[in-house]
Amino acid sequence: MSTYSIKDLERLTGIKAHTIRIWEQRYNLLSPNRSETNIRSYSNEELKHLLNVSLLNKYGVKISKIAEMDPQHIAHEAATILVAETDHEDLINGMINAMIDLDENLFDSVMDNATNRFGFAEAVIHVVYPFMNRIGIMWQTGTINPAQEHFVSNLIRQKFIVAINSIRVEKQRIPHSYILFLPENELHELVLLFYHFMIKHAGAKAFYLGQSVPFDDLSRVVEISQADRIITCITNRPMYTAKEYLTNLSNAFPHLTIYAFGGVIVEEKITSFANVVIPDAPDQLIRIINDPTN
């Protein structure tokens, strides 16, 4: 059974631990288990309930009134709000709820709301990315299981593929061609799919190779495609370091600009070198992609 500390709840929901304690003690909105040393631990159900309570409170329902409502009523009212005028934070929390319950309908409603209000690119940058970061927190605390992660990752992947396939580039507006790939044994392609969308949306050419691409295969595609840019991501720790891999990439393709990102690159504190560019944030690479003069 998944359990969270009060600090986990604070990081996942954005609600201060002090506020959580008050809601718990004064209004009995949560019922955590307590260890022999009186340390609180909270379940998935209590995390979902806290997210719903917080949403109703944010949109004008007093905590004292919420405390009188049964959990099903609270959940129903929260779901209604999530398909209306909500902000980035509310949508992120809605996705967390959908993931915990493996609720595809709720996830689709939240994603559709985000896309309709902000556009697909902004929805990904300000809702999906932060949501994935919180999934990282849940991995660290052991409170998410692989089934939940695979469930929501595949839903997001489907959204990316539909968005990419909806774009028809009649004329190349940006004079650059990109090869997008993941090194061998790299399988987490969500961010790469997002950049594929952004490249097509900008009117540049993209050659999407996907997951676990052998170095020799990459060399052949570079030769055939005549691309001038590469985008890749390193999130696993393979037999070599990320710096070694990027150095090999740089030496093999000195005439290409290589954009690289990923958790291992951050851990190794790699900065830009030679023809390898390490973007500071997703926005930086998006600006580069959209700039026809760059």
Q: Residues 275-284: pLDDT tens digits?
A: 999 998 777 8
- Provide mean pLDDT across the span 179-198: 90
Position 256 confidence tier, pLDDT thresholds 50, 70, 90: very high
Residue with tokens 């290589």: 258
Distance of alpha carbon 36 from alpha carbon 168, whole angstroms: 62
Q: Is 35 helix (H, G, I), strand (E, B) or coil?
A: coil
Reference 201, options 125, 95, 280, 89; nearest CA is 125
- pTM of structure: 0.76
In DSSP terms, 180 is beta-bridged to: 208, 231
- Provide mean pLDDT across the span 2-26: 86
pLDDT of 43 higher than 60: yes
pLDDT of 158 higher than 70: yes
pLDDT of 193 higher than 80: yes
Q: Confirm or reject CATH 1.10.1660.10 for domain 3-164, answering yes or no.
A: yes
Average pLDDT, the chain: 87
For residue 108, the model assigns a pLDDT of: 93
For residue 1, the model assigns a pLDDT of: 52
pLDDT of 140 higher than 60: no
Distance of alpha carbon 260 from alpha carbon 268, whole angstroms: 13
Of the chain, the percentage scoring pLDDT greater than 70 comes to 94
Position 142 confidence tier, pLDDT thresholds 50, 70, 90: low
For residue 143, the model assigns a pLDDT of: 66
- Yes or no: say if 148 and 100 are a contact pair by the CB < 8 Å rule: yes
DSSP 185: T
For residue 281, the model assigns a pLDDT of: 78
Of the chain, the percentage scoring pLDDT greater than 90 comes to 34
Segment 196-240, tens digit of pLDDT: 999 998 888 999 999 999 999 999 999 999 899 999 998 877 677
For residue 34, the model assigns a pLDDT of: 83
In the structure encoding, which two tokens stand for residue 35, read together?
């260890």
For residue 179, the model assigns a pLDDT of: 96
Helix locations, 226-281, DSSP H = 242-252, 263-267
Phi, psi (degrees; rounded to nearest 5) at 199: -65, -45
Residues of 95-118 as b/e, b for ≥16 C-beta within 10 angstroms? Answer: bbbbbbbebeebbebbbebbbeeb
- Provide mean pLDDT across the span 59-76: 89
For residue 248, the model assigns a pLDDT of: 94
Distance of alpha carbon 19 from alpha carbon 147, whole angstroms: 31
Q: 177-290, what's its fold?
A: Rossmann fold (3.40.50)
Q: Which residues, including other chains, have CB under 8 Å from residue 35's CB and lie 6 or more apart?
A: 41
Would you list the domain boundaries of the chain?
3-164, 177-290
Segment 77-133, tens digit of pLDDT: 887 887 666 788 888 888 988 988 899 999 999 999 999 988 888 888 888 888 887
